[in-house]
Amino acid sequence: MGEKPNIKCQKCGYEWHTRSKLKMVTCPSCNQKIPNIALNKRRRLVKALAQSKRAIIGLEAAIVLIAFVIIAAAFSFMVVNQGLYATERGKVVIQEGLKQASTPLTIDGTTFVRTTIDGKYVNVIVVPVKAFGVKFVAFGRNQTVISLRVGQKAWANVYCGVLYNSSDPSKTYDPSVGLAGGSPIAFDDFVGFSYNETLNVYVHGSYDDGSGLMTGAVLVIANSNGDEALDVGEKGYLVVTLKSGDGAPARTQINIEVRLDKSATLSIEITIPESMPANAYVPII
C-alpha cells in the first residue's frame, strides 16, 4: 500500500508522494518542474513542533518562577512577622524595665511629725505623696509593703492598707469632705486609726493623747473616688504612727521604704530635730 500523496502537479494535476528535500521536483507524469510544497509542509510542521516545545518550556519556567515567588513571599511574611514580634517584645521588656527601675510615687510637699505631750518623742509621721507618670498607683494591702526603721528598731511590713471611714467602714476616709461642711479636717482627727474586725479594714480615729496609737502605716486619700488606688487627680497622705515605747526621740533617724507592685522602692529618710515644741506638728525640711 503506497503512501498518501503529499504533492500535486500544477500543470497536469498528477498527485504523488515525495520525500525529496529539493526545493523543485519533477512531475512523474509530465516531467514539469514544480515547487516542492511537501518540503514546506514538513518545515512548517517542525517549526510548529519546536514552537510548541518552547511554549511548554516557557510554561514550566513560569510555574517554577511562580513557586519561587510564593515561597519568597511566605518567607518574607515570616521574617516580617518575626521582626514585628521581636520589636513588640523588645518594647514590652523596655517598658517593664523602666517601670521596675523607677517608682510611680513621689513626695508631694512637706513631711510633718507630731511630738508627744511632753515633747520628748515623735509618734506620728505624715508624708504627702502623689502618683507620678502613671494614671494610678494601686495601694491594696496585697500589693504594697512598707518597711520601717526607727533608730535601732525595724519592722518588715507595717502597712495596714487604705484608711476607711469609722462611721461607714464600707467607704474610704476622705479628709477633704470636711471642707464642704465648713470645718477643715486636722491631722489629729484621723491619725489615731484602729482595726475594724467586721470588714477587716483600718478606720480613722482621733489622736487624743497619743496613748492609743499603734505602730503601723495607712494611706489617706483626699478627693478620693472610693477605691484603693491613688489616682493622678487625688492627693495622698502616708500616715505612720508609733505606739508608746516605739516613739522616736530627738536626733533619731527614721527610714520608710514603700515597695509597690512591679516598681522601684520609694525611700523616705528623715531625722528628728534636736529640739521640738511639745504636743505639736513640726515640719521636716
For residue 15, what pLDDT is reported? 78
**What pLDDT does 28 receive?**
77
Confidence label for 39 from pLDDT (cuts 50, 70 and 90): low
- Residue bearing the bigger pLDDT, 267 or 86: 267
Q: How confident is the model at residue 189 (pLDDT cuts 50, 70, 90)?
A: very high
> DSSP letter string over 177-201?
HHHHTTSPPPGGGTSS-EEETTTTE
- pLDDT above 70: percentage of residues in the chain: 83
Average pLDDT over the chain, rounded to whole? 84
User: Domain residues of the chain, as ranges?
Assistant: 7-35, 105-284
pLDDT value for 192: 96
Q: What is the pLDDT of residue 155?
A: 97
Report pLDDT digits (tens) over 132-171. Answer: 888 889 999 999 999 999 999 999 999 999 999 999 999 9
**Alpha-carbon gap, residue 119 to 237, rounded angstroms:** 23
For residue 280, what is the DSSP state? S
pLDDT digits (tens, 9 = 90+) for 76-126: 777 777 777 777 766 665 555 544 444 688 999 999 999 999 999 999 999
Band of the pLDDT at 6, cuts 50, 70, 90? low
Residues 56, 61, 62, 65, Cα dihedral to 10° = 170
Residue 159 forms beta bridges with which residues?
A: 217
CA distances from 189 to 52, 175, 206 (A): 102, 9, 4
- Give pLDDT tens digits for 58-75: 667 777 788 878 888 887
Range of lowest pLDDT (65-79, 179-193, 249-263)? 65-79
What integer pLDDT is reported at residue 263 of this predicted model?
A: 78
% of the chain beyond a pLDDT of 90:
53
Mean pLDDT of 219-231: 94
Q: How far is CA 198 from CA 143, 204, 237, in A?
A: 22, 15, 25
C-alpha cell at 39: 518540503
Global confidence as pTM: 0.66
Which residues does 234 contact at the CB level (< 8 Å), separation at least 6? 130, 131, 221, 222, 223, 224, 225
Q: Which residues contact 130 (CB under 8 A, 6 or more apart)?
A: 105, 106, 108, 230, 232, 234, 235, 236
| Cβ atoms of 252 and 151 closer than 8 Å | yes
Q: Where does the chain show beta strands of DSSP type E?
A: 7-8, 15-16, 24-26, 33-35, 105-107, 111-115, 122-131, 136-138, 145-150, 153-155, 159-162, 194-196, 201-203, 216-222, 229-231, 235-241, 253-259, 266-271, 281-284
